[in-house]
């Protein structure tokens, strides 16, 4: 990793998000997710991110997921990419949960295999596709939720949510930086029902570019809705 002087750009973004883990059976569920990421809070495009995956419940406190992500990144901010590009992403993760009194702990370990579209200038002010670059990334997030007005994360609970997540690159095609990102998050949330909650908060996203010199320090407003559908067949009484 390079430790040279950083060129840091401070930017303001907005992420508007939906998450769901929809029960298919007692063990399996379907993960769905969409994130509408905007530059200058809401004015311009930053990214469009869609994920889908299949969850498997190993135990009451452990779940694994494998899935696919489709991401479109736009030029934005003070250090923009030259052209809009697409990314296809395979991901696997393990989530471990623990409840101690009012504190709900969540550990998320995620691996990503990223296929990032290469774009070249076609000489006419546009770009042509030039294959894909394969990159790998490992992520770890530690999150804590704490209800304020109730003793548990039940309907009507107002809660505080905080987390830190680190992103590390590995394998071939790593540029000069193994540390890719760090995210620090704090928010207030409200439990609408056992299957639904909303959150509003602040994320500091520290992104180190491939040259290990240019850095984005993104101050990001976040709004999220989580809703879990239950597709299991209801048992009928005789």
51-109 pLDDT, tens digit each: 999 999 999 999 999 999 999 999 999 999 999 999 999 999 999 999 999 999 999 99
Mean pLDDT of 146-160: 97
Please check the confidence at residue 126 and state whether its pLDDT lies above 90: no
Q: Contact at 8 Å (CB) between 144 and 165?
A: no
Q: What is the mean pLDDT of the chain?
A: 93
Where residue 124 falls among pLDDT bands split at 50, 70, 90?
low
Q: How do the domains of the chain map onto residue ranges?
A: 7-227
Where residue 130 falls among pLDDT bands split at 50, 70, 90?
confident
DSSP letter assigned to residue 60: T
Show contacts of 162-168: CB within 8 Å, 24+ apart. 162/186, 162/187, 163/106, 165/108, 165/139, 165/140, 165/141, 166/139, 166/140, 167/137, 167/138, 167/139, 168/137, 168/138, 168/139
What are the percentages of helix, strand and coil residues in the chain, rounded to 5?
0, 70, 30
Helix (H, G, I), strand (E, B) or coil at 192: strand
What is each CA distance from 46 to 11, 34, 186, 197, 204, in whole angstroms?
11, 14, 21, 25, 15
Please check the confidence at residue 178 and state whether its pLDDT lies above 80: yes
Domain spanning 7-227 has what CATH number? 2.40.160
Please check the confidence at residue 1 and state whether its pLDDT lies above 70: no
Distance CA 234, CA 225 (A): 25
Distance CA 171, CA 163 (A): 26
Mean pLDDT of 212-216: 93
């Amino acid at each position: 990793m390079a430790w040279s002087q950083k060129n840091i750009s401070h930017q303001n973004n907005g992420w508007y998000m939906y998450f769901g883990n929809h029960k298919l059976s007692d063990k399996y569920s379907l993960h769905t997710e969409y994130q509408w990421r905007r530059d200058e809070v809401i004015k311009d495009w930053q990214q469009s991110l869609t994920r889908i995956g299949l969850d498997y419940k190993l135990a009451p406190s452990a779940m694994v997921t494998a899935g696919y992500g489709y991401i479109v990144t736009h030029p934005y901010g003070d250090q923009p990419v030259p052209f809009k590009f697409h990314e296809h992403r395979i991901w696997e993760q393990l989530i471990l949960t623990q409840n101690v009194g009012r504190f709900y702990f969540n550990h998320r370990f995620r691996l990503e295999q990223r296929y990032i579209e290469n774009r070249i200038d076609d000489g006419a002010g546009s770009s042509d596709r030039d294959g894909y670059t394969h990159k790998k990334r490992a992520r770890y997030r530690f999150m804590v939720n704490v209800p304020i007005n109730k003793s548990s994360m039940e309907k009507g609970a107002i809660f505080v949510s905080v987390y830190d997540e680190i992103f590390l690159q590995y394998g071939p095609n790593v540029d000069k930086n193994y540390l890719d990102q760090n995210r620090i998050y704090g928010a207030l949330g409200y439990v609408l029902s056992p299957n639904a909650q909303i959150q509003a908060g602040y994320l500091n996203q520290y992104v180190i570019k491939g040259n290990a010199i240019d850095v984005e320090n993104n101050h990001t407003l976040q709004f999220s809705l989580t809703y879990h559908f239950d597709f299991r067949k209801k048992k009928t009484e005789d």
